Structures are given as structure tokens and as C-alpha cells.
């Protein structure tokens, strides 16, 4: 049987909260970067879900603000861990430059460990506990019903499938719009397209059981390939920002940081060509 819009919302939020809480112990007590990554994805999925249903089920501003705090804390840890454990080791001919870059790699690892400790402390805080409890209570108590208009109440009790179809169509149209400037290679255009692609992909995954056909799978595969390249290019941009910040705070690392940033810029040009090809494949999917 088809879920109602309200039931679908509750199921999706529950799934996102499960993903977040399933990675708490890993972030607090482990060292695997995947724990931070998966928890951050859970928070991103939750924020995307809240945005999808916002017109019918508005999230209280205080909860949105606290989710923003959690996303920022996890994002800082994730950004440093990607730089320290993946980006630097992925530099071409890294073995040839290993000795020269050793101090920079060590400094980045120290920053990643410090950011991870901040994330762990955040999860061990009263603030985080209150956020999780408040989200659970809000989902179960359904205060959005209070004062809801007749039209809103009817929409909430209506079937989820047409609601999902309408949202997916609008999100896809928005991505097409954002993607028009991708050919230019401009960073702001890539950023807008990356955010739009992420929102569409999360929504498509939320509602995938309603649209199981070959066309949907083809669309998701093409979208995932575009998002992978956009994500990789964003990782390089973030890495350059972090390296310049590190060089500013530790002057002795400036030369090495500049060298790595030049390598990352060269890699970005290769990714840009790949992005253009994958974007065209997505548009025709």
C-alpha cells in the first residue's frame, strides 16, 4: 500500500537518524574516516529531506540551526581527513616527493586528528544529546498538525507517490538549470550544480521504490557519475583552501603547500574534461 506523505516523511527521517546514530561510536572512539563520512552523509540526507517536505512540514528554526552546527563540525573533520588520508597520497609521483612533503603531510594529519577530536567532543556533549532527543520528539509528536490548514492536512494524508514525482521533476529541472554553465568551468557554477545534484540524488534514493524501472536506474547511474566528479573537484578546492590556511599558520610549510596546490590545479583540469563528458551523458539519460 502507498504511504501517505506524512508517513513517508516519518520513514525517511527515521532512516536518516538511524544512519547518524549508527556512526556515533565510530566517530567518538574510532579512527576510521568512514565513520565521520557516513555520519556527515546522514546529516546531509536529513537536511535534504527536511527541505523536500518543508512546505507541508516546516522544521523548527532552532532544530535547523542545531543541525547546521552538527554538519559544520563533522564537515571540518571530514575535510581534514580527506586531505590527510586521500588527497595528499593521491598526488602524482608522490613517492618521488615523499621526503619533501613529509612535514606537510604530518601537519595535515595533526590537523585531521584535532578536528576529529572536536567532532568526538561534540557528540559527547549535552548539546548533541538534546538535538537527537528533540528531533525524535518532534518526529513522533507531529506538532506540524497543530494549526495546519485544511489543504495542508489533506496533502499530508494524500499518497506519497505523486508528491514524490512532483518533487523529483522540480529538482531535476533545477539541476538542468544549474548545469547550463558547467561548460564554462567556472567554480561558482560547479558549486551550484554540485548542491543541486546532491539534492536530486538524495531525493531519488528516498523515493526509489516508487520508480524502480530501467529509466530511473539509468538516471541514477548517470547522476552518480556526475556527482562523483563534482565531489572530487570540490575535494581539490577544499584541499587547496586548507593547505593555504595551514601555510599561513605555519610559514615553514608555504613552499610545500604551493607545490601541492599546483598539482591539485593540474588534476582539476583533467576532472573538468571528464565532467563535461559525464554531464552530457546525464542530460541525455
One domain, residues 122 and 11: yes
Which of 33-47, 89-103, 143-157, 162-176 has the least mean pLDDT?
89-103
- Residue where a domain terminates, one of 109, 128, 158: 158
One domain, residues 94 and 39: yes
Q: Which has the higher per-residue pLDDT, 17 or 266?
A: 17
Cα 68 to Cα 63, 114, 121, 142, distances in angstroms: 9, 20, 16, 22
One domain, residues 101 and 187: no
Burial class (CB in 10 A: 0-12, 13-18, 19+), 284: exposed
Q: Residues 41-85: pLDDT tens digits?
A: 999 999 999 999 999 999 999 999 999 999 999 999 999 999 999
Q: Is the pLDDT of residue 7 over 60?
A: yes
Give the H/E segment covering residue 154: helix 150-156
Q: Is the pLDDT of residue 93 over 80?
A: no
DSSP-derived 3-state class of residue 211: coil
Residue with cell 552538527: 70
Q: Is the pLDDT of residue 1 over 70?
A: no
- Supply the mean pLDDT for the chain: 93
Residue with cell 573538468: 272
pLDDT at 13: 97
Residues 117 and 120: their CA atoms lie apart, in Å, by 5
Cα 264 to Cα 85, 88, 233, 258, 269, distances in angstroms: 15, 9, 9, 10, 9
One domain, residues 206 and 196: yes
pLDDT at 248: 92
- Residue where a domain terminates, one of 133, 158, 183: 158
One domain, residues 79 and 95: yes
One domain, residues 102 and 5: yes
Domain that holds residue 104: 1-158
pLDDT at 132: 97
Cell of 240: 587547496
CB contact at 8 A, 23 and 44? no
pLDDT at 226: 94
Q: Residues 110-122: pLDDT tens digits?
A: 999 999 999 999 9
One domain, residues 146 and 192: no
- Residue where a domain terminates, one of 106, 127, 158: 158
Mean pLDDT of all residues in 149-154: 96
CB contact at 8 A, 171 and 48? no
Q: Residues 156-209: pLDDT tens digits?
A: 999 999 999 999 999 999 999 998 887 776 888 888 999 999 999 999 999 998
pLDDT at 189: 86
One domain, residues 127 and 61: yes
pLDDT at 86: 92
Residues 131 and 137: their CA atoms lie apart, in Å, by 10
DSSP assigned state of 181: T
Cell of 147: 494549526
DSSP assigned state of 56: T
Residues 79 and 143: their CA atoms lie apart, in Å, by 36
Which of 28-42, 245-259, 266-280 has the least mean pLDDT?
266-280
Backbone angles phi, psi at 159, to 5 degrees: -70, 145
pLDDT at 64: 97
Residues 46 and 38: their CA atoms lie apart, in Å, by 12
Mean pLDDT of all residues in 268-277: 86
pLDDT at 170: 96
Q: What is the CATH number of the domain that holds 255?
A: 1.40.20.10
Residues 240 and 260: their CA atoms lie apart, in Å, by 8
State the total domains in the chain. 2
One domain, residues 142 and 220: no
Own/partner contacts of 180-183, CB < 8 Å, gap of 24 or more, are: 182/275, 182/276, 182/279, 183/276, 183/279
Q: With cut-offs at 50, 70 and 90, classify the pLDDT of residue 243.
A: very high
- Contacts for 106 with CB less than 8 Å, ≥ 6 apart: none
One domain, residues 103 and 219: no
One domain, residues 280 and 228: yes
- End-to-end C-alpha distance for the chain, whole angstroms: 30
One domain, residues 7 and 95: yes
Residues 106 and 51: their CA atoms lie apart, in Å, by 39
pTM of the predicted protein model: 0.93
Cell of 180: 547550463
Amino acid at each position: 500500500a502507498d504511504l501517505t506523505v506524512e508517513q513517508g516523511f516519518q520513514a525517511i527521517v527515521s532512516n536518516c537518524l538511524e544512519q547518524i546514530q549508527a556512526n556515533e561510536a565510530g566517530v567518538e572512539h574510532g579512527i576510521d574516516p568512514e565513520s565521520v563520512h557516513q555520519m556527515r552523509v546522514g546529516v546531509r540526507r536529513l537536511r535534504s529531506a527536511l527541505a523536500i517536505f518543508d512546505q507541508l512540514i516546516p522544521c523548527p528554526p532552532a532544530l535547523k540551526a542545531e543541525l547546521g552546527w552538527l554538519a559544520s563540525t563533522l564537515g571540518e573533520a571530514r575535510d581534514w581527513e580527506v586531505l590527510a588520508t586521500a588527497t595528499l597520497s593521491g598526488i602524482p609521483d608522490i613517492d618521488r616527493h615523499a621526503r619533501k612533503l613529509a612535514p606537510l603531510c604530518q601537519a595535515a594529519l595533526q590537523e585531521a586528528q584535532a578536528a576529529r577530536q572536536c567532532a568526538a567532543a561534540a557528540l559527547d556533549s549535552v548539546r548533541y544529546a538534546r538535538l537527537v532527543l528533540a528531533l525524535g520528539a518532534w518526529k513522533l509528536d507531529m506538532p506540524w498538525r497543530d494549526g495546519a490548514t485544511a489543504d495542508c492536512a489533506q496533502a499530508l494524508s494524500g499518497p506519497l507517490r505523486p508528491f514524490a514525482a512532483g518533487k523529483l521533476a522540480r529538482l531535476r529541472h533545477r539541476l538542468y538549470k544549474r548545469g547550463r554553465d558547467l561548460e564554462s568551468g567556472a567554480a561558482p557554477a560547479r558549486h551550484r550544480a554540485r548542491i543541486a545534484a546532491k539534492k536530486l540524488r538524495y531525493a531519488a534514493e528516498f523515493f526509489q521504490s516508487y520508480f524502480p524501472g530501467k529509466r530511473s536506474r539509468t538516471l541514477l547511474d548517470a547522476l552518480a557519475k556526475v556527482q562523483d566528479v563534482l565531489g572530487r573537484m570540490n575535494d581539490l578546492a577544499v584541499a587547496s583552501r586548507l593547505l593555504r590556511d595551514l601555510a599561513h599558520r605555519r610559514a615553514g610549510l608555504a613552499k610545500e603547500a604551493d607545490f601541492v596546490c599546483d598539482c591539485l590545479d593540474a588534476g582539476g583540469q583533467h576532472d573538468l574534461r571528464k565532467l563535461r563528458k559525464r554531464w552530457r551523458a546525464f542530460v541525455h539519460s
